[in-house]
Amino acid sequence: MSFLNVNSKNVTIGEEFIESNYNYQTTEVQKTETGITVTPKDMPINFRTKKTPAKTGLMLVGWGGNNGSTVTAALLANKQKMSWETKNGTQDANYFGSITQSAAIRIGQTSTFEEIHIPLKEVVPLVDPNELVIGGWDCSSVNLWSSMKRAKVLEPELQRQLKDQMEVMTPLPAIFDLEFLANNQDERADNVIPLPKAQAVEKVRQDIRDFKAKHELDSVIVLWTANTERFTDVTPGVHDTADNILKALEDNHAELAPSGCYAIASILEGCSYINGAPQNTFVPGIVELASRHNVFIAGDDFKSGQTKMKSAIVEFFVGAGIKPECIASYNHLGNNDGYNLSSPKQFRSKEITKSNVVDDMVASNEILYPDAKKPDHCIVIKYLPYVGDSKRALDEYSFQIFMGGQQTVVMHNTCEDSLLATPLILDLAILCELMQRVEMSTDGGATYEKSNTVLSLLSYLLKAPFVPEGTPVVNALNRQKQCIENVFRALVGLPPENNMLLECKMKQTTKQ
């Protein structure tokens, strides 16, 4: 695969590294009683990116679920360039929905103002999803082909083509605690680790080591795509420090969730951990543990359908000076995620992540919201088995417009839940692997370090972005996407995209 060639004295592309001398321009704002003062700031940053992606394994917690079986099938189908017949004709395997594989980025224009776009994956070297090695754990012992059939996501002919390869794939036993899940999940839990939490974590750590050795991997990323847990009751002396969380593990503390156990195991093995569900896995003690071991963590909850649309729509209307007053969101779905969310405690975890998506956009406009009162916002999720993985999302937005007028926008979104989530899982792993190869320096290259271990760069892919303490939470979809694109540009010494196109707006001729 070819990569971008940058003609600049600020970029060096060697055998091992891409090195960029980058001038990060930002602004510092002071708010006083007399007004606002803005000071432009320049920060020289040296980026150093290893050119060669690591040989990477992706271990999924919940490998036998709808998402896990769909990811596995998609990787096999794409790697082998499979095609299958549908009622609409022949369908080829693809990675649609993945920004790293199917999205393009504007890199500039020619001297005659022809705009040039290239695939995002050609800006810097990324791990090829076809080369990812996949494995993981699940509380259900059925093989991956049976899981795929149970999920009813992919076409029958594709399932038949994949049978021989997926039938021999079986999940490892999982850490399971019904106290954190809906009681109905006990029906499929026949593949669990029957050990106290500390010993279970040691078993998971050994699973990671065995997986890494068997496939001769450089790196393993662990990602939670299992069911939503209820929120952990965060307790001082238990969850507040790294030492306390490790003591809670040794004490087999009841309020240490399975997702927390997997996070601890991953961190202690030096493996990045991504939380694809809404529960509050990243309690302060786990965040501190990740920082202590210099391991990336990222979360929370895949942003695939209704919430992605909501973050785009609200950003647009607030940016247009139109005031969202009321948002009513209804969902029904029939997969096991919906079955688990039919329990109130698990639904509450999801409700929190889906509700907070508009907060930063509301806070950005004091003209529309002088008292900072948020719009009325209601989330409803219902379990209807017949619709399976084909989730229905209905939203009604009520706005206040010019001179007290009203505007109502109603949206109906039918989406294949796992077919939207699967590309996000791949992007999360691919971008995480990239950031494991990126180092930064603010002392002219004398010393380098990785970015903050809370990997907020992945916010575009997540409903409730988990960010370093004291830093802004950004939910606005366009800002999240621009962050990813501009970081890619910075790694190869290109300025951020500002869309001013001043050279096209001036009467004077400019030299390109």
Give the tens place of pLDDT for each residue, 87-106: 999 999 999 999 999 999 99
Name residues whose C-beta falls within 8 Å of residue 88's C-beta, 6 or more positions apart in sequence.
none
The answer, yes or no, to whether residue 420 has pLDDT greater than 80, is yes
For residue range 312-348, list pLDDT tens digits in order: 999 999 999 999 999 999 988 887 777 676 666 666 7
Is the torsion defined by CA of 360, 362, 365, 366 positive or negative?
negative
Is 360 assigned a catalytic role?
Answer: no
Catalytic residue among 212, 350, 389, 427: 350
Share of the chain above pLDDT 90, in %: 77
At residue 354, the pLDDT reads 66
Nearest to 172 by CA among 126, 148, 208, 197: 208
For residue range 43-102, list pLDDT tens digits in order: 999 999 999 999 999 999 999 999 999 999 999 999 999 999 999 999 999 999 999 999
The answer, yes or no, to whether residue 2 has pLDDT greater than 70, is no
Is 308 assigned a catalytic role?
Answer: no
Catalytic residue among 301, 395, 417, 427: 301
| Owner of token pair 């001038």 | 23
At residue 511, the pLDDT reads 55
Please state, in angstroms and rounded to a whole number, the distance separating the CA atoms of residues 382 and 468: 33
Nearest to 397 by CA among 415, 379, 383, 410: 410
Please give the residue that has the higher pLDDT: either 362 or 342.
362
Tokens of 296: 């990336």
CA 230 to chain centre: 20
Catalytic residue among 197, 212, 391, 427: 391
Mean pLDDT of the chain: 93
The answer, yes or no, to whether residue 510 has pLDDT greater than 60, is no
CA 139 to chain centre: 23
At residue 332, the pLDDT reads 86
CA Rg value for the chain: 24
At residue 331, the pLDDT reads 86
Name residues whose C-beta falls within 8 Å of residue 156's C-beta, 6 or more positions apart in sequence.
none
Is 121 assigned a catalytic role?
Answer: no
Is 197 assigned a catalytic role?
Answer: no
